[in-house]
Amino acid sequence: MTEWHPDRETLERFLDDELPEEQSRTLQRHIFTCSGCEQSLIEILPAPACEGGEDADIPGYRALFRQVLQEARQKGAQRRALLARERKEARTLWREVGSLDLAAWRELVWEDSRFQSWGFFELLVDKARWVVLEDPRKAEEMIRLSLDVTEHLDPERYGPGSVESAKARTWASLGNALRILADFRQAEQAFRQADSYLLAGWLDPLDEALLLEYKASLRRAQRHFDEALQMLDSAISLYREVNEPQGQGRALMGKGLVLRYADDPAAASACFRESLFLLDGSEEPRLLALSQVNLIGCLVDSGRSEEAAALIPESIKLIEEVGKRCDLLHLQWMEGLAAMNLGQNDKAERIFIELIGAFTEDRLPYNVALVALDLSGVYARQGRTADVKHLASRMLPIFRSCEVHREALAALIVFQKAAEMEQLSVGLVDEVTTFLQRVRRNPDLRFREND
């Protein structure tokens, strides 16, 4: 791809404040990272008029501007050194207080200056980003505590726009936690706060891109897929612009999830595959593993089970090293589906029976019922009518205990009646299974809407 550089006319319009806001922000970021364009801007800077009406010495004025830029860079280097020191100190502080409850944390933040630093704010937000996947309530508490920390940050110490940038990042993280908690209204409000602080902050492209990622996740949950894809494409462009492959790979994962929710597994698999080339496994190893699991799921969804099966052994080893129990169970589920699609019924049966036990232990009744439905598909393919009837009798009570909506129950009732009458076909099993997977993502769907 050819690298973009602004022409003279664009630079002049930038100096005259005639560019649209988004284009102006993009150009500002580019100039700070491109010495050639910075020099071009210096060359066309207007010189201030002297008292006598004559132009000032233009070379001298340019030299002054270069000096200002050099001083800004020196201050930036000093601040980067300060942040590096504070980040190291924050890790030590975390070992000191990580086991305390929220009330004790809050007291420390408001009374102990050691905790009123950029390093500690940043550590809270970063840790909350991983905690939110398993305990979103705890993550929300950590993020709200980081908001308390931002109230104590000194803009003189960290530079103009620093406090606003810190608040933008924190409100964005809070919005994401609230989205995971399904509080979409409060998530929207948090993202609006993040937007307002971002405009007043450092114009950091990484903060802007991360906010776009989080907002896209909310749009995905709201099933506004086109808007989510636009946000993620913008985030990917920002990460590419500042040469941030890790963020680019993560945003591609988000795009893959949107496409998978939109029932486009082929396009989704392309995104997950590309993300694997960009993600740094040493930086975020679990993220790399999850991208591979999602790729396998897309391959299974799109009927490419043989290709999916070839990736599974390596993925299992990776998940066992860096993943969580839920990641491994999900991967094993994909392994069972691939085996079923490839006619490996004994293997699929064994995997599904093990998963039913694991999901029962983890108190995930919806997953228990879905895997049981997959297992009934194995039995139906083998003509094991009695086993199908037994599973069907067990599944409906489980689904009722999940308090799922009536369309999911309607699909299960059709399945159960067909099993009782020994009229259950493989096609009906696949139809009900597909519907229950889709309705989990889109509660507005209806089973056999045209019946």
CATH code, domain with 398:
1.25.40
Q: What are phi and psi of 253, to 5 degrees?
A: -60, -45
The pLDDT of residue 51 is 47
Structural domains in the chain (count): 2
Predicted confidence band at 319 (pLDDT cuts at 50, 70, 90)? very high
- Quote the CA–CA distance of 445 and 408 in Å, as a whole number: 9
Query: Could you tell me if 438 and 331 lie in one domain?
Result: yes
In the predicted structure, residue 53 carries a pLDDT above the cut 50: no
Query: Could you tell me if 396 and 339 lie in one domain?
Result: yes
Establish if 31 belongs to a structural domain.
Answer: no
Helix H segments across 342-403? 345-361, 365-381, 385-401
The pLDDT of residue 189 is 96
Query: Could you tell me if 345 and 451 lie in one domain?
Result: yes
Of 394, 360, 363, 403, which is closest to residue 376 (Cα–Cα)? 394
The label of the residue with tokens 């993620």 reads 232
Query: Could you tell me if 266 and 351 lie in one domain?
Result: no
Looking at per-residue pLDDT, the higher value among 267 and 200 belongs to 267
User: What is the mean pLDDT of the segment spanning 212-217?
Assistant: 96
Residues 6 or more apart in contact with residue 224 via CB below 8 angstroms: none
The pLDDT of residue 62 is 55
From residue 340, how far is each of 49, 184, 210, 277 by CA, in Å? 80, 38, 39, 30
Most confident of 19-33, 79-93, 312-326: 312-326
User: What is the mean pLDDT of the segment spanning 77-93?
Assistant: 78
Establish if 171 belongs to a structural domain.
Answer: no
Question: Amino acid letter at 174?
Answer: L
Backbone torsion region of residue 55, taken as left when φ is above 0, otherwise alpha when ψ lies between -120 and 50, otherwise beta:
beta
DSSP state of 303: T
In the predicted structure, residue 22 carries a pLDDT above the cut 70: no
In the predicted structure, residue 49 carries a pLDDT above the cut 90: no
Range of the domain at 221: 216-237+248-280
Query: Could you tell me if 330 and 451 lie in one domain?
Result: yes
Of 32, 223, 219, 221, which is closest to residue 233 (Cα–Cα)? 219
Q: pTM here?
A: 0.75
In the predicted structure, residue 3 carries a pLDDT above the cut 60: no
Given a contact cutoff of 8 angstroms between Cβ atoms, the answer to whether 62 and 42 are in contact is yes
Establish if 105 belongs to a structural domain.
Answer: no
The pLDDT of residue 450 is 43
The pLDDT of residue 55 is 47
The pLDDT of residue 368 is 83
Which SS3 state, helix, strand or coil, does residue 107 take?
A: helix
